[in-house]
Each structure stands twice: as structure tokens, then as C-alpha cells.
Amino acid sequence: MKQTEENREKILEIKRRQEEIGREKGLRGIKLTLSYDGTNFGGWQVQDNARTVQGEIEKVNEKIFGEKVRVTGSGRTDAGVHADGQVCMMQVKTNIKVEALPLIYNTKLPKDIVVLKAEEVPVSFHPIEDVKSKVYEYKILNSDFRNVRLRNYTYFVPRKLNLDAMKEAASYFVGEHDFVGFAQAGIVATDTIREIFSCDVDKDENEIITIRVCGHGFLHNMVRIIAGTLIYVGQGTIDPKNIPSIIESKDRSKAGFTAPAYGLTMKEVHYIDEDINEK
């Protein structure tokens, strides 16, 4: 949502104070960009009864920094969801050079997580609040037979989908809408209005359909429900021209199914100041 000038000034003042406190405590802000295979994770967020990405990063933090250091992610990917560009941030006291951190992490992390980049950022940087846009991709294998090597990364649909209808339907998601009808039932959120900057559908020579959605932020399961809705469009169950009225209805039962988690990948996260590391 757009910030008012007054709110922006308040945010800047809070950030200035955070910077002062951080300097007083000798803290550095470290931003990590991660890739992970979500197949064997219970999601991003730490849980008592499941292996999580945040939990594995924080275990390694204790080994590297000699103390517990919490990380905050740009989004809480669900169990089975993958990432090529998840971002997390931490505040820590350390003399380790930031350019050395990816190698240090990658020698200690399990094989299904990789740190792609480490950057120094202001301690006031917030990986959620400072987001300008996020990009997710949902992949569908639309072929006669399953591909066993892609079973954890694509949703298999054997019936040929109408790509042109899916493309038309995707265009109606672009813009600012109340997407409560495209969120998990029973969602607890004070604001369900989200802005989608682009929603594209393409098919490659390997019969993989990619739904690529870019927006400021997303409700829980929103991209997976958009994907499920576009699959219904491709199958002829939903007319593409009905998408605007489905959005306007705010009725979850009128949208498509929630597509399985394993077809979804968090691709990119962009920030308000892309040169945030240049303090």
C-alpha cells in the first residue's frame, strides 16, 4: 500500500533511532540471499516439531558467531515451497568480512540450503517492511506423462491446458484489489488489499507452464490459489472473463483450488532502495 508523507517521515525517524541504538551496541546489519529446496522442510519459520530453513540458518549462526543470532526472512514460505532468492537479515557483533560469509555458511549448512550472497546493510533495514516487490513462479508440467525428476518442483496436469485462456485470465489479476477470496480460508489479516504488478503465463519446449507473479506482497496461499484458478481456466472450468467478478466477490469458494506447494518457488525480492547496502 502507498505510504503517506506523514507515515514515511515517522518510519524514517524510527529507522534513524534504530541506527543510533545499533551503533551504540556495536551491531552490524547483515543481509543474506538464499536458495533452498523446500522438499524436506516444514517451511521457513522455526517450529518445535519440524525442520525449517530459519532453524538451520540459526543453528549455523551459533557456530559462526558463538551466540544465538536470530534472522528475519522476507517471507514465510510454507512446507514444500522452494526459493531461489529468499532474503533474510540479522543484527550481529562480528569482525568477519561480509564477502567471506557465503563460503563460511556453505561449508556448514545442509546441502539443501545455499547462501548466494551476503551484504552489509543498515541495522534499520527490514526484509519485510522495506520490500518493493516480490516475484514468485508456479510451474506446471502439462504433458502426457510424469517426469520423475521434476516431481518435487512441478505440478503434473496431463490434460492439455488452454494457454491463451490462462494468459487472458492472468491479466485480470494485475492492479490493486482486495484478494481476500484468494487467501487461505480463515485468514487473520487487517488488510487484504494487495497490488499485483504483473502476472504472466508461458510454456516452454519441455511442456512446462510457468505462472510468474510480481507484486508488492501476498496473502497466505495467494499465489497458489491464483495458480489453481488459472489451471481451472486452462481446463475450461472457469471462463477467463469471470476473473474480475470472482475477485470482486471476495468469495473463496468461487476461486480455484490451492495448487500444491511443491510447484511454487520464491524467485526474487526487490527493495525500496536497491542500493541499501551503500550506507
Residues 155, 160, 163, 169, CA torsion sign? negative
Q: Give 12-16 contacts, CB < 8 A, sequence gap 24+.
A: 14/124, 15/122, 15/124, 16/124
Pairing of strands 113-121, 131-141: unpaired
Specify whether the CB–CB gap between 117 and 105 falls below 8 A. Answer: no
What is the rounded distance in angstroms from the CA atom of residue 98 to the CA atom of residue 120?
7
Q: Report the DSSP beta bridge partners of residue 113.
A: 36
Q: What is the DSSP letter of 74?
A: S
Is 273 known to be catalytic?
Answer: no
Output phi, psi for 264, to 5 deg: -100, 135
- The single-letter code of the amino acid at 21 is I
Q: In angstroms, how far is CA 33 from the centroid of its own chain?
A: 12
From the candidates 37, 48, 78, 130, which is the catalytic residue? 78
- Nearest 5°: the CA angle 27, 31, 33 is 160
- Nearest 5°: the CA angle 229, 247, 262 is 30
Cell of 82: 522452494
Catalytically active residues are: 78
